A and B are shown apart, each in its own frame.
Chain A
Amino acid sequence: MTRQLKILEHTLASLLRRKAKNLSLLVVYAFTIATLGSVLFLTHALKTEASDSLAAAPELVVQRLAAGRNELIPVAYAERIRALPGVEKVTPRVWGYYYDALVKANFTLMGTAGEAEQIELLEGHLPSNPDECAVGSGVAAIFGAEIGDRLVLIDSHEQNRLYKISGLFSTASSLLTNDLILLPETTLREFFAIDEQRATDLAVEIYNQREVKTLAKKIRFHLPDTRPITRSEILHTYTTIFNWRSGMMLAVTLAALIAFCILAWDKATGISSEEKREIGILKALGWETADVLAIKFWEGLAISLTAFLLGIVAAWLHVFVLGAPALVPILKGWSVIFPDFPLTARVDLLQLLTLAFLTIVPYLACTLIPAWKTAVTDPEQVMRN
């Protein structure tokens, strides 16, 4: 114990000799970890957010496909699905997209049948009159609107329509409701000019969870032009959305990682003649190969562990306190309105350990291996060279 502590003391003394070099290495290393960590934290938090809240999504959504595209579904299909044993309830839903040329943003317009229940995350109330609407915070922000203000939308007959904002979704829900404009269903049908016989899709509730797949098959069998989407498929979509393959962000950080690897490799493997001489001196003074390697181990660990801890803490603060300002522009893409969402700081421990393993171990290896090659030779030979 004292022995290792003394070796560590010597290591730190020798690290401090090259302050500028080691400090700059530490900064670059920590920065790489912070970037990688931020991506991992953000995507994992989004994934958790999706799977946590979308667990309450409809068990089955039935769309109609025509010529490979989504089409409006006949409301009559709802009756046929309801007749299948095991189906609890079928709700035709009306929703669609609306592009506002003035603010150059897309919104999602959704019809409500006038649910009586009070929504916790809604300030005000759901639209109860034909000319009322409830909007997400992104919509309110882009129009600078508040409860009681009027929203002007242009319907499919190029007519200006005025809707009074009766409810505003809180920012806590903006990951789900940011671009949402809720209108009474009849109003929305008029707005989009969708007749009573058609709906956007059907939400199906089922008594027994285990029958979802069977029922989906039955629906496909009886209504071959439909496409049922189960809740597990929705959740699966979101677990795959932000996975490691998800391109750009990781590709960008990968470039940083590779650049760092080159730097680390260069720094660690290129054992200088000065370092070789030192190893020779230590061996001549009665240090064993294992002791020399212990120095190199502590040296590698001191740098990589410090950088890892610094990087992780920085990533955490960046994502969960500052709201990932460095990553949001990449995430945002061409979205005009982007949710200002508070994230729950959920971190995947396994992911973190993988990151630790992938950054600390290679660094240790490339400090240890070249030193080991020098340390196993006779001290006399090391000093002669």
Chain B
Amino acid sequence: MIRSRLFLGLIGCGVLLCFALLSYGQLQDPDLHGKRQLVKLLGLTDLALFSEARYTRHPSQADLFSAFQDYPAAFEHFPSGSLIAPAPVGLNRWISIHDPNERLP
């Protein structure tokens, strides 16, 4: 019975270790205050992850065509473009006006 006890013990330790790692992340203080202050004061809108192009540096601010300069099905130019899904056109990306004479609230 040594093997099975050892095995169950190791699995138990593994599960505990996993939970410890996960809860460590949840308890970690992400210093949100500092980051939010920075974002608020400077009016930042995007993460500085990919700086190679306008649409990868500021995906939320890019115009809808720059990711597909020529044709929507054209191959991406930048490698990081493959990580950035195309903007969900038609969801709530555009605020459209159907009837210019429609009375606004």
A286 CB, min distance to chain B CBs, angstroms? 21
Kindly state the separation between the CA atoms of A91 and B35 in the bound complex, as whole angstroms.
20
List residues 12-44 of chain A with CB under 8 A from any CB of chain B. Answer: 12-13, 16
Chain A residue numbers with a CB within 8 Å of B57 are 97, 106, 108, 179
Known: A5-B4, A57-B44, A233-B92. A221 touches B50 (CB 8 A): no
A8 touching B7, Cβ below 8 Å: yes
A290 CB → nearest B CB, Å = 18
**Interface hits, B1-49 → A, CB 8 Å:** 1, 3-5, 7-8, 10-11, 14-15, 17-18, 21-22, 24-26, 28, 30-49
- Name the contact of A345 in the complex, choosing from B3, B21, B36 (C-beta under 8 A): B21
Given A120-B33, A240-B88, are A218 and B11 also a contact pair (CB < 8 Å)? no
Q: How many residues of A contact B (CB 8 A)?
A: 105
A309 adjacent to B18 (CB under 8 Å): yes
Q: List 14 A-B contacts (CB under 8 A).
A: A8-B4, A54-B47, A56-B40, A57-B43, A106-B57, A241-B85, A313-B14, A333-B52, A333-B56, A336-B51, A345-B21, A346-B30, A347-B26, A352-B22
Bound CA span A346–B21, Å: 10
What 1/0 flags go to A312-337 for Cβ under 8 Å of B? 11001000100000000011111111
Roughly how many angstroms separate A339 CA and B82 CA in the complex, as a whole number?
19
- Measured between beta carbons, the chain B residues less than 8 angstroms from A218 are 104
CB of B79 closer than 8 Å to a CB of A: yes
Contact A5:B51 (CB < 8 A) given known A70-B63, A246-B83, A345-B24: no
Binary interface profile of A, 50-66, with partner B (CB < 8 Å = 1, else 0)?
10111111100101010
Residues A206-256 near B (CB distance < 8 A): 213-214, 216-218, 220-221, 224, 227-230, 232-234, 236-238, 240-243, 245-249
Q: Which residues of B contact A179 (CB under 8 A)?
A: 48, 51, 57
Give chain A interface residues in 292-325, CB to chain B under 8 Å.
302, 305-306, 309-310, 312-313, 316, 320
Residues of A within 8 A of B43 (CB): 57-58, 91, 93, 203
**Chain B residue, CB-CB nearest to A243:** B85
Kindly list 20 other residue pairs between chains A and B, CB separation below 8 angstroms, not including A172-B31, A176-B48, A224-B97: A53-B36, A54-B47, A110-B42, A117-B41, A122-B38, A169-B38, A176-B39, A179-B51, A220-B96, A221-B100, A237-B60, A238-B59, A240-B87, A241-B85, A305-B11, A309-B14, A316-B21, A333-B79, A333-B81, A352-B22
Report B22 CB to chain A, min CB distance, Å. Answer: 5
A173 at the binding interface (Cβ < 8 Å):
yes
Name A16's closest neighbour in chain B (CB-CB): B3
A339 touches B95 (CB 8 A): no
Task: Tell me whether A46 is interfacial, beta carbon within 8 Å.
Answer: yes
Complex: A173 Cα to B33 Cα, angstroms: 11
Q: For window 70-124 of chain A, which residues contact chain B by CB distance below 8 Å? A: 70, 91, 93, 97, 105-108, 110, 112, 115, 117, 119-122
User: Do B61 and A247 have beta carbons less than 8 Å apart?
Assistant: no
Report the Cα distance A121→B30, complex, angstroms: 13
Q: Is A127 engaged at the interface, CB distance under 8 Å to the other chain?
A: no
A350 CB to nearest B CB, Å: 12
Nearest-CB residue, chain B, relative to A68: B65
Assess A136 versus B4: contact at CB under 8 Å? Given A63-B61, A241-B84.
no
- Residues of A contacting B3 in the complex (Cβ-Cβ under 8 angstroms): 9, 12-13, 16
Tell me whether A46 and B17 are in contact in the complex, defined as CB-CB below 8 angstroms, given that A179-B57, A237-B87, A248-B83 are known contacts: no
For the complex, is A178 an interface residue (Cβ under 8 Å from B)?
yes
Residue of A nearest to B32 (CB): A52
Interchain CA distance A56-B59 in the complex, whole Å? 17
- Asked whether A337 lies within 8 Å of B104 as measured between CB atoms, the reply is no
B104 / chain A contacts, CB cutoff of 8 Å:
214, 217-218, 221
Give the residues in chain B near A6, CB-CB below 8 Å.
1, 4
Between B10, B43, B56, the greatest number of chain A beta carbons within 10 A of the residue's beta carbon is seen for B43
Name the residue of chain A whose CB is nearest to the CB of B94.
A227
Inter-chain contact A12/B32, CB cutoff 8 Å? no
* Contacts A175-B48, A178-B48, A333-B79 given; does A310 touch B4 at CB 8 Å: no
Which B residues, 55 to 98, have Cβ-Cβ distances below 8 Å to chain A? Answer: 56-66, 78-85, 87-88, 91-97
